[in-house]
Amino acid sequence: MTKVKASLICCFFILFVQYSLAQQITKIAPGIWKIVYGEQEKIKPGDFKEKPLENELNKMAASENGPAFLKYIKYNVEQGGIVAELPLEDNERIYGFGLQVNTLEQRGMRREIRTNSWIVGNIGFTHAPLPFYISSKGYGVLVNSSRYVNFYLGSQHKLAKSISIKQQVEETSGTQSPGDSPSALYNKNYKSSNTVEIQVKGAKGIEMLVFDGPSMKNVIERYNLYSGGGALPPLWAMGFKYRAKNTFNATEVASFSSYFREKHIPCDMFGLEPGWQSAAYSCSYAWNKKNYPNPDSLLNIMHNRNYKLNLWEHAYVHPTSPIFDSIVPYSGDYAVWKGAVPDFVLPQTRKIFGDYHNKNFIQKGVAAFKLDECDAAYYHEANAEWSFPDIAKFPSGLDGEQMRQLLGYLYQKTILDEYQKVDLRTMLEVRASYLFAAPFNAALYTDMYDHASFVRMIVNSGFSGLNWSPEVRQTSSENDLIRRLQTTLMSSHMVVDCWFLKNLPWYQFNRDKNNNDELLPNRFELEAKAKNLIELRMSFIPYLYAAFAKYHYTGTPPFRALVLDYPDDKEVWKIDNQYMMGESIMCAPFIDGASTREIYFPEGIWYDFNSNKKYEGGKKYTITMTLDEIPMFVKEGTILPMAKPVEYITKETVLDVTCRLYGNCDGKTIQLFEDNGHTFDYTKNQFNWINLSWKKNKGTINRVGNYKKQHYKITSWQPIN
């Protein structure tokens, strides 16, 4: 071979290697770019996602080329996995990573994206950890992987940048003092670095999706629309839900459920816990014949009382289950609680599991399920067999690590597909979720119970297309009970989960006393307070349902951090104990039974929902509220539709609505969403937007759409000054 030939071949080879190692950027939708580098994983979370809501996505303004940093991403394939390095600007902030528990603003943190039922320190484990963050610079980065993904958010400095470290050290203290405690010793008194390092464990390549803004709110809207649009639960799911003790038999369920109807306390869903099954850990998905000898008759009773029945289960299939033999060939090679772990990646598995649920429960009128334990629980308890190990193998080719991240998502999908087949919407409760779950009618819940974390989880859920349910169980005091009830009212899913309480929590909030029938002397007073709150939730149904419809069609999260609405107000950047509910209500829960707290009001005038007292925005106030007052504040210029509470929602329900006018509403309009509330007809254009406008002291109602029936009757307009 001549020298020329050899060097030509060499050049081609170098070019080929460089080309094949270069990242490839493709625009996949307006304002969304896919960046691919290196060898790709065979199965990715995006393979299971719903179709984007394209029409709505196309309506969003988007830049042509995306954020400038796309060109400056560096990659390294290391033994432990691929590492991508993305630049961070000095004043850039980071939010997101799914249902984070401990922290709102994430810069300076390490985030390990690993599904787990319990936080482990503050490293990022949660029921729904998403490898997806949103930057205050108005873009979002998502890693389309079900491997463990680690993010270093400016939390580590490379030695190569030692000059800047030197400068920083000089700027701050210069020399270090010895420190008299571990925290003083390890105190980080320098700035975070200007790099995000993303490591996909064990992978040789990476796929990232980058979502354009320009605002952070636009980023999450784009992500939600790309995922298939935000969830639109059935109308009944806006109401109140109760879950009864797991040991109750059919007679006890029937008699307990009459309580709400006799006392005229609204309740739409009644949930059964593990005891309904013949085996629950793992699950048989078959009625316990001794305690539930005639399930059809119980279903009849519950339906006649207008309850939606919800059944608890998890995905681990007990050897006595009717589906065990057929599902074993499509399951992982490790058991959980001696049960098979279905590989929901495979259509055959989804068919076996789905058909069985459809025929035996959905067609019989079971309206919803609580999908427990799909979060690979108790990772930190090394002796617990609460999940399959990372070394498990599944027939689809996934390993345990990948299945751990995907199980919650795939389990929801399997059940939701069955409801779709019978054209019924449901509202699941679920303990794990993952990327692209925005369209799922489901709310996440937990066994954790810290009230402040519950509120922070509402705030964080808005960055991730997730619904979060800060459920109420036992409490430490009457105040704690009422304040927690208020928080669950001000969330996407109002549920009291009494799976270990024999009596109502407002009859006795202490767990042991409750189960010993030691009822509180003032229980009826507490009952009246609980009833008021549940009725208030029912009054909010038109407002909340419209907020969910907007979530569906525009992607705007119904519950979201203040920083999404007021990005330029520095004061709200770190606020993790106040949030927006719908378009114009700010919630500021009182934690741990407190009656006084500090509340920050963003720009504008805000009305106390209880007293109509006005607060001028841009300031902090110390506010005291009695237990009869709920910490909600309404933005001036809001037309707030409030329904006369009903005890439950049916297909025929018509809600009487009063429009409250807060301050000057001249020229203002709000919209209500009206459809049949329980099927998917809205996807076939069977819905109305009702425009409620106020002009020159007169209200007008304008229905736009194809839906023929009416579920809202506007009865009055009520100015509030």
Q: Where does this chain bind ligand GAL (CB under 6 A)? A: 246, 273-274, 312, 372-373, 447, 497, 499
Give the integer Cα–Cα distance in Å for 281 and 335: 12
Give the integer Cα–Cα distance in Å for 526 and 448: 24
- The set of residues, in sequence order, having a beta carbon less than 8 Å from that of 375 and lying 6+ positions away, is 115, 116, 117, 127, 407, 408, 431, 432
As a residue count, the chain comes to 721
Residue 214, preceding peptide bond in cis (omega within 30° of 0): yes
Q: Residue 250 or residue 311: which is nearer to ligand GAL going by CB?
A: 311
Give the integer Cα–Cα distance in Å for 715 and 692: 12
Q: Residue 111 or residue 245: which is nearer to ligand GAL going by CB?
A: 245
State the nearest-atom distance from the C-beta of 419 to ligand GAL, in Å.
Answer: 21
How buried is 68 (Cβ within 10 angstroms: 0-12 exposed, 13-18 middle, 19+ buried)? exposed
Give the integer Cα–Cα distance in Å for 488 and 630: 12
How buried is 79 (Cβ within 10 angstroms: 0-12 exposed, 13-18 middle, 19+ buried)? exposed
Q: Residue 144 or residue 461: which is nearer to ligand GAL going by CB?
A: 461
State the nearest-atom distance from the C-beta of 540 to ligand GAL, in Å.
Answer: 25
State the nearest-atom distance from the C-beta of 310 to ligand GAL, in Å.
Answer: 11
According to DSSP, the β-strands at 428-430 and 368-372 are: parallel
State the nearest-atom distance from the C-beta of 274 to ligand GAL, in Å.
Answer: 5
Other Cβ atoms less than 10 A from the Cβ of 553: the count is 20
State the nearest-atom distance from the C-beta of 491 to ligand GAL, in Å.
Answer: 16
How would you list the strands of the sheet with 712-720, edge to edge? 639-643, 655-662, 712-720
Closest by CA to 256, choosing from 235, 238, 270, 273, is: 270
Please, are residues 563 and 587 in contact by the beta-carbon 8 Å criterion?
A: no
State the nearest-atom distance from the C-beta of 243 to ligand GAL, in Å.
Answer: 7
Residue 478 has phi, psi (to 5 degrees) of: -65, -40
Q: Residue 343 or residue 372: which is nearer to ligand GAL going by CB?
A: 372
Question: Would you state the torsion angle of the CA atoms of residues 514, 515, 517, 520, taken in this order, to the nearest 10 degrees?
Answer: 0
For residue 693, the surrounding DSSP H or E stretch is strand 688-695
Residue type (1 letter), 65: N
According to DSSP, the β-strands at 240-243 and 269-272 are: parallel
State the nearest-atom distance from the C-beta of 246 to ligand GAL, in Å.
Answer: 5
Determine the distance from the C-alpha atom of residue 625 to the mean position of all C-alpha atoms in its chain, rounded to a whole number: 29
Q: Residue 370 or residue 711: which is nearer to ligand GAL going by CB?
A: 370
State the nearest-atom distance from the C-beta of 504 to ligand GAL, in Å.
Answer: 17
State the nearest-atom distance from the C-beta of 473 to ligand GAL, in Å.
Answer: 8
Give the integer Cα–Cα distance in Å for 394 and 374: 16
Give the integer Cα–Cα distance in Å for 512 and 638: 45
Q: Residue 274 or residue 339: which is nearer to ligand GAL going by CB?
A: 274
User: Residue for token digits 């464990």?
Assistant: 201
Most distant pair of Cα atoms in the chain: their distance: 101
State the nearest-atom distance from the C-beta of 245 to ligand GAL, in Å.
Answer: 10
Q: Residue 446 or residue 688: which is nearer to ligand GAL going by CB?
A: 446
Query: What are the tokens at 465?
Result: 């297309």
Q: Residue 93 or residue 431: which is nearer to ligand GAL going by CB?
A: 431
Q: What is the DSSP letter of 618?
A: S
Residue type (1 letter), 73: I
Residue 99's SS3 state is coil
State the nearest-atom distance from the C-beta of 560 to ligand GAL, in Å.
Answer: 25
Other Cβ atoms less than 10 A from the Cβ of 183: the count is 8
- The set of residues, in sequence order, having a beta carbon less than 8 Å from that of 162 and lying 6+ positions away, is none
Other Cβ atoms less than 10 A from the Cβ of 445: the count is 22
Q: Residue 283 or residue 640: which is nearer to ligand GAL going by CB?
A: 283
State the nearest-atom distance from the C-beta of 114 to ligand GAL, in Å.
Answer: 19
Query: How many CA atoms within 13 Å lie on the side-chain side of 556?
Result: 17
Please, are residues 482 and 507 in contact by the beta-carbon 8 Å criterion?
A: no
Q: Residue 440 or residue 445: which is nearer to ligand GAL going by CB?
A: 445
Q: Residue 373 or residue 399: which is nearer to ligand GAL going by CB?
A: 373
State the nearest-atom distance from the C-beta of 236 to ligand GAL, in Å.
Answer: 21
Q: Residue 227 or residue 461: which is nearer to ligand GAL going by CB?
A: 461
Q: Which residue stretches of 430-506 are H helix? A: 451-461, 478-489
Q: Residue 88 or residue 101: which is nearer to ligand GAL going by CB?
A: 101
Other Cβ atoms less than 10 A from the Cβ of 675: the count is 24
State the nearest-atom distance from the C-beta of 322 to ligand GAL, in Å.
Answer: 22
Q: Residue 48 or residue 118: which is nearer to ligand GAL going by CB?
A: 118
Closest by CA to 403, choosing from 327, 283, 316, is: 316
Query: What are the tokens at 40?
Result: 């790709």
Q: Residue 449 or residue 680: which is nearer to ligand GAL going by CB?
A: 449
State the nearest-atom distance from the C-beta of 427 to ligand GAL, in Å.
Answer: 16
Q: Which residue number is nearest to ligand GAL in terms of Cβ?
A: 499
Closest by CA to 86, choosing from 30, 142, 31, 170, is: 142
Q: Residue 211 or residue 509: which is nearer to ligand GAL going by CB?
A: 509
State the nearest-atom distance from the C-beta of 545 to ligand GAL, in Å.
Answer: 26
Query: What are the tokens at 690?
Result: 């009702």
State the nearest-atom distance from the C-beta of 384 to ligand GAL, in Å.
Answer: 12
- The set of residues, in sequence order, having a beta carbon less than 8 Å from that of 472 and lying 6+ positions away, is 481, 484, 485, 488, 495, 496, 497, 505
Q: Residue 430 or residue 657: which is nearer to ligand GAL going by CB?
A: 430
